[in-house]
A and B are shown apart, each in its own frame.
Chain A
Amino acid sequence: MTVNSSQQSEILGHFGPYGGRFVPEALIEALDSLTAAYESAKADPTFAAELDHLHKTYTGRPSIITEVPRFAEHAGGARIILKREDLNHTGSHKINNVLGQALLVKRMGKKRIIAETGAGQHGVASATAAALMGLECVVYMGEEDTKRQSLNVARMKLLGADVVPVTQGSKTLKDAINEAMRDWVTNVDTTHYLLGTVAGPHPFPTMVRDFHRIIGVEARAQVLELTGKLPDAVLACVGGGSNAIGIFHPFIDDTSVRLIGLEAGGSGVASGKHAATITGGTPGVLHGTRSYVLQDENGQTVESHSISAGLDYPGVGPEHAYLSDIGRAEYQAITDDEAMQAFSLLSKTEGIIPAIETAHALAGAIKIGRELGPDSTLLINLSGRGDKDVDTAARYFGIPL
């Protein structure tokens, strides 16, 4: 089977039945302009050169890979290799997309960016790019998340961004996106919505994916160089799905490589308190795109639950929905407890404290490694570092602060 999912995204950004645009007409002109600006940038070698220069001199790319044998002892002895996106400037993969879009903003001549954030990583990355390029930056963040991730709130403020706590609805990422979209509808002439994941209306799922493909492109070459062959499986955590699509996409045509997305299972999918959108959701429309959604019988979005603010989202990128339906990628749920055990394990065996989001991928690796055994090689996207999660983790493990 040869599946090049990029061929699926035509002019309207469809991935099979998923994707598209479900937005107020007021935003169509902005989305068309953005699509045109992106297409022109893609065709312009100076844009690629500018972004490449930033990656080398600012982000710290290429990010390294690290083999983790002591961790792997707990994962069936499989060979486990981490792609270290946690070592990027600002501490996660989010900077890849943010720098790409910020360069586009400059090309479009806009002066103000808005962003949503859950864990705060995308907000921090956006605030960073805004400071670097002299843009005004407003970050919408659910009030609940501002409490869970107070360190990142302070970081964004130090970087000169305005952080607006969102008090509507579940007070988490979904509501931050609603509020950002309202701002965008109102200020679209002057403002770019720097969406942080591979969801939302076209062109975001395609464009954000393209900016993150560098993760998979680098990792594929690095693993080949280290091991002389492709990995048996590539694993990544999935909330909206940006780090996962970034590392999956360059492997899509390598059909021997299993692509495994780990969703946030919260207290367990059966409990109803989770954020495992593909595992436990149904097709629907949310935030401008058709994908899987956690929803009730009336099409109302159901609140998601996860210990990880960055995965606590009741939607998922449309390309993941498509990859799941056609069987090219698999999606499994990891509970809060499983994620926290893996968080602790990597910290204690390898001296790397991962983001709690990323810990879901590590918990998946423990399961898949045991399944595939010592002859297998697993590549894991270590999408972010855990400094921001020290409060949450200390509380979870009963460490007094």
Chain B
Amino acid sequence: MTALSQLFEKTRGENRAALIGYLPAGFPSHQECIDAVTAMVEGGVDAIEIGFPYSDPVMDGPIIQAAADLSLSQGTGAKEVFSTLKAVTSLGTPAVVMTYWNPIERYGVENFAHSIAEAGGSGVITPDLTIEEALPWRAAVKKEEINSIFVVAPSTKDDRLAQVTAECSGFIYAASLMGVTGTRTSVSSSAKDLVTRIRKVSTTPVSVGLGVSTREQAHEVAQYADGVIVGSAFIRLLQESQSMGEGLIRVRELAQSLAQGVRR
């Protein structure tokens, strides 16, 4: 069982949702990313998603695009992603990598899964890998005993929802709305409907992402989901802060606030 799966057993036992934080590797710089993730964990984030910055992030809004561009301009690649992952898992925190498919294919499907396992990672979120194209990936993930996390959306029909969620382990990533990543003033009502539909076809934990940025939103989502994913809100704080010191303080404060939110 991966550290991620153990986490959900624990949070279910504590009758709360897990708080999952996202940050792209190499943002704002290689070491500052690790510092920021450490601050997130200190503030109460339960698990970390390390993003593999990609040149063509079609699922991401302007905040993550800008972060990925900055990271890529500093030369972030697979090596930096895995060393960041290793730094996070060394804190004793469950961590996964979130990446578009092409960097995996370029690195080598089996090698990628192996490097994840070697860095102590629990799995990989693949937002643009469809189950029809996932056969080699599923074999690699199974061999390395890590989690494969696919994203489902409000538009996903019931029969397909059953097929996709059957391929998920660790958790199922439920996109709260039809759209790209970014902060929103409210959590779409489609999130709750989607989670309800997932519950009918799967017992795997469900985490909700896209548009969650405040304690109130985290609290709302925690009423029906097993995990709450926050990304753009953390990135925005780092982008807006005058110094890294200020950024780390604000990131830790947001993590603390969200951590209160996920407790029902």
Where the two chains meet, the residues of A that have a C-beta atom closer than 8 Å to any C-beta of B are 12, 20-30, 168-169, 174, 178, 181-182, 185-189, 284-288, 290, 293, 295, 297-301
Contacts and interface: CB of A to CB of B under 8 A. Distances in A.
A282 B153 CA distance: 31
A27 B56 CA distance: 17
A26 B150 CA distance: 12
Per DSSP, chain A at the interface is: mixed
Contact of A25 (B107, B156, B179): B156
Interface stretch (B34-42, B127-135, B252-260): B127-135
Given A21-B132, A178-B58, A293-B102, A188 B178 contact: yes
B242 interface: no
Most-contacted residue by chain B among A29, A187, A285 (CB, 10 A): A285
Nearest to A19: B133
A177 B57 CA distance: 11
Contacts, number: 113
B180 A284 contact: no
B27 interface: no
Contacts of B130: 20-23, 25, 28
Contacts of B132: 12, 20-21
B201 interface: no
A22 B129 contact: yes
Nearest to A285: B102
B133 A21 contact: yes
B189 interface: no
Q: Indicate the size class of the contact surface on chain B.
A: 35 or more
Interface in B130-163: 130, 132-133, 150-157, 160
B213 interface: no
A42 to B, nearest CB: 22
Contacts of A290: 105, 133
A185 B180 contact: yes
Contact of B103 (A178, A181, A185, A299): A299
14 contacts: A21-B133, A22-B101, A22-B130, A22-B133, A24-B151, A25-B152, A26-B156, A169-B55, A182-B59, A186-B178, A284-B102, A298-B77, A298-B106, A299-B106
A181 B65 CA distance: 14
A301 B55 contact: yes
B19 interface: no
Nearest to B60: A182
A178 B56 contact: yes
Given A178-B56, A189-B155, 5 more contacts: A24-B58, A25-B152, A30-B155, A285-B102, A297-B106
